[in-house]
Amino acid sequence: MTNTQNTSRSGNTIELHRVLTSTPEKIWRAFTQPDAFARWLPPNGFTAHVYELDAVVGGSYRMSFTNFTTGGEMFFGGNYLELRPNECIAYTASFEDPNLPGEMTTHITIKPVSVGVEIQITQSGIPAVIPAEACYLGWQESLRHLAKLVEPNIPG
């Protein structure tokens, strides 16, 4: 696992790397199907609801995370910048909360390897009020959830 951090005036950038025993097709579906995305993306202690997800270049999505302890809901959404099936996904994200300004960009590269799939994630423009280590923690939890969704090979 590789994690690196850069901090700039416009916010934080984080990078993550994972190898999962899965297929590029399953990873792709996990990022582009609303029910799958809502199942694995929220970090521990949160649930998610996808209100809109149009996974085409120029398409948009809108979703929320709900804090299971407090019931507080955080809405966010953005647009798809790049989509190459089973290879690459790039999208923007903005929080609807004015205390979390700016636009983030997330870029995911999906690559088949001998033991499954290598995923590289770069997220930039993270609002300065969100500590980079909190982003890493959240993504690490989310990626563990992703593995539990895409690694089992359950016959039809």
66-89: pLDDT as tens digits: 999 999 999 999 999 999 999 999
CATH number of the domain encompassing residue 118 = 3.30.530.20
Task: Specify the pLDDT at position 57.
Answer: 98
Q: Assess if residue 156 is contained within a domain.
A: no
**pTM for the whole thing?**
0.90
Residue-level pLDDT at 55 = 97
Q: What is the DSSP string of 2-25?
A: EEEEEEETTEEEEEEEEEESS-HH
pLDDT at 156 (0 to 100): 86
Place of tokens 């983030």: 104
Q: Which of 6-10, 42-46, 98-102 has the lowest mean pLDDT?
A: 6-10
Find the domain containing 22 and state its range.
Answer: 2-150
Question: Is residue 107 domain-resident?
Answer: yes
Question: Residue 77 forms beta bridges with which residues?
Answer: 62, 94
Question: What is the distance between the alpha carbons of residues 97 and 95, in angstroms, rounded to a whole number?
Answer: 5
Q: Is the pLDDT of residue 3 over 60?
A: no
